[in-house]
Amino acid sequence: MIISLYVNNMFVFCTSMNVMYNIKHFLASKFDKKDMAKVSVILDIEIIRRDNGIMLTQEHHVEKHIKKFGHFYMTPVSSPYDVNTQLKKNKDKVIAQLKYARIIGSLMHTMCVDINQISIVSIGQR
């Protein structure tokens, strides 16, 4: 059994539903709690249950950000890079620098979300 706390949320991992029931019953006797049952998305992490285990993904979160910036329906293209070309600092007019900085910032946030931030049971002290 693993119990993970994040702010006022708790995520309980058990190998037995009987143990899960006992934990929920004990917590209900000590705290005002709201049982969130099985979660599907928490803190932008999607939980997909399969017969052979669970899968955690942020695909929907990345798609949301790509759609937000209007790039979801674009067709991927090959962009060959010549390794002999030396990149230079742009000294001309800034072209969409802020827009692309926001896109990169949004995707960097996605990379930094920690699995310990997931929650199943939300509790409040009585």
pLDDT of residue 125: 39
**The pLDDT of residue 26 is above 80:** yes
pLDDT of residue 81: 76
Q: How confident is the model at residue 6 (pLDDT cuts 50, 70, 90)?
A: low
Q: Is residue 26 part of a domain?
A: yes
Q: Is residue 83 part of a domain?
A: no
Q: Is residue 80 part of a domain?
A: no
Range of 34's domain?
2-72+94-125
| CA-based end-to-end distance of the chain | 25
pTM of the model: 0.47
Q: How confident is the model at residue 102 (pLDDT cuts 50, 70, 90)?
A: confident
Averaged pLDDT for residues 91-96: 74
| Count of structural domains within the chain | 1
Q: Is residue 84 part of a domain?
A: no
Q: How confident is the model at residue 121 (pLDDT cuts 50, 70, 90)?
A: very low
Averaged pLDDT for residues 81-99: 78
Give the span between the Cα atoms of 120 and 2, in whole angstroms: 12
Q: Is residue 85 part of a domain?
A: no
**If you average pLDDT over every residue of the chain, what do you get?**
75
pLDDT of residue 113: 59
Q: Is residue 86 part of a domain?
A: no
